[in-house]
Amino acid sequence: MIYLDNAATTKMSDKAVEEQLFWACSNFYNPSATYSQAVKVSFELSNARTRLKKLLGVKNGDIIFTSGATEANNLAIRGSERNGDWEYVFSSGEHASVYNLAKQLELEGKVVKYVPLVESGEIDITELEKALSTKTRVVSIIFVNNVTGAINNIKEISKIVRNKSPKAILHIDGVQAFCKIPFKLSELDVDLFSISAHKFHGPKGVGALYVKNKSSLKSIVYGGGQEFGIRSGTENVPGIMSMTVAAENIDIKSNYEKVKLLREKFEDAIRDDKIKLVSTQNGSPYILSLLFEGINGETLVRILENDIIVGRGSACSSKKAGNHVLQAMGYSAEQIKGAIRVSFDSSLTEEQVVYSAEKIKNDYLSLLEKLK
């Protein structure tokens, strides 16, 4: 079986599993307790924050551990809300954890602006400039789009936000970027940045929110005051330590080069007049979205599943009919019906991706033939 849905989740690395077991079984103490064994755990949690900041490429600020990026994204946006006449700016290509929260803010009567995407899937910068004002409180933008792999230019976005909305908090959903594409957070000038462990060979149900200035963030969960009083609840120590080790064991640059090559081989082998590549060469090599004319993508997923596993865009929204990201890029409902997302990992071989591309193409063409 060849797994090509690595944007949905990845297999845990051996080192990450080993680390998780150690903190679950040998060093299981509650980091908030006062005896020396527990204090040591608390000390290692602090170390993990520093280690993650190093990997993110930033010295200042803090790391708040969460149950994953859905929570980190919610904390970033909800935690930055303030009373008053404030506005919110999102792109139309946000992950469901931001997009559905944006819809909820609208229901609550807030002014919410959605910035359209350009044809290749990035945020429309001219429209972003128009949406921003001195009343903007929160801007939340995805770094690498989870459906298309389109990469937003965060440096440019942050310059524009700082200039037009000096009081705005800028949050970036960095889930599909961290440990995959090279960047230094200190160079991006953002306030908040979300990551999720299971996207980089760590465990599920654990993630983090980087916070430049924690005094600007309000708690959305009340309790024992863990995580600087911002995110109460006993920390998932095994998950956090495992996430940190998982990230430290990734060679971002060499994986990137390898995946880029694999993606090229895959694209060469799948090319056909009836298969449209949605993702462009400027995006993340890890994610490739394709539209298969005249079929339902779900049928193809099922035909392939015993041999090759592919996804349907975002795992979180794949059970729903439409896909707001592809819609925002201008694709019709009929085209979106035939959408498949292929997402790569550096552990794959050239033979595996070429075999998969050929098999996907052949299975698709015979399905199309049957439907005639």
Residues labelled as active-site residues: 316
The correct pick among 111, 118, 303, 315 for binding ligand PMP (CB under 6 A) is 315
Candidate list 76, 131, 142, 243; residue touching ligand PMP; CB under 6 A: 142
**248 Rama sector, left if φ>0, alpha if ψ -120 to 50, beta otherwise:** alpha
Site membership for ligand PMP, residue 207 (CB under 6 A): yes
Among 196, 226, 244, 356, binds ligand PMP (CB under 6 A): 196
Among 209, 216, 285, 265, which Cα is nearest to 240's? 209
Nearer to ligand PMP, 121 or 207 (CB): 207
CB of 68 to ligand PMP, least distance (A): 3
Instruction: Using the structure block, give the residue that is written with the tokens 């599920």.
Output: 204
Give the Cβ contact number of residue 326 at 10 Å: 23
First to last CA, the chain: 30
Q: Which one, 20 or 70, has the nearer CB to ligand PMP?
A: 70
What letter would DSSP give residue 136?
A: E
Q: Considering only residues 13, 140, 176, 356, which one is a binding residue for ligand PMP as defined by CB under 6 A?
A: 176
The contact mask relative to ligand PMP for 50-79 (x = CB under 6 A, - = no) is ------------------xxx--x------
Closest distance between ligand PMP and the C-beta of residue 97, in Å?
5
Piece of 162-170, 172-180, 211-219, 339-347 that binds ligand PMP (CB under 6 A): 172-180
Q: How would you classify the pairing of strands 87-91 and 136-142?
A: parallel
- Asked if residue 28 lies in contact with residue 37, where contact means CB atoms within 8 angstroms, the answer is no
With CB under 6 A as the rule, give the number of residues binding ligand PMP: 16
Measured from the CB atom, is 289 or 352 closer to ligand PMP?
Answer: 289
The phi, psi pair for 149, rounded to 5°, reads: 85, 0
Say if CB 91 and CB 115 are below 8 A apart.
Answer: yes
From the number of C-beta atoms within 10 Å of its C-beta (0-12, 13-18, 19+), residue 107 rates as exposed
Candidate residues 175, 243, 308, 357; the one interacting with ligand PMP per rule CB under 6 A: 175
Which of 74/352 has CB closer to ligand PMP? 74
Chain residues binding ligand PMP by CB under 6 A are 68-70, 73, 95, 97, 142, 146, 173, 175-176, 196, 207, 314-316
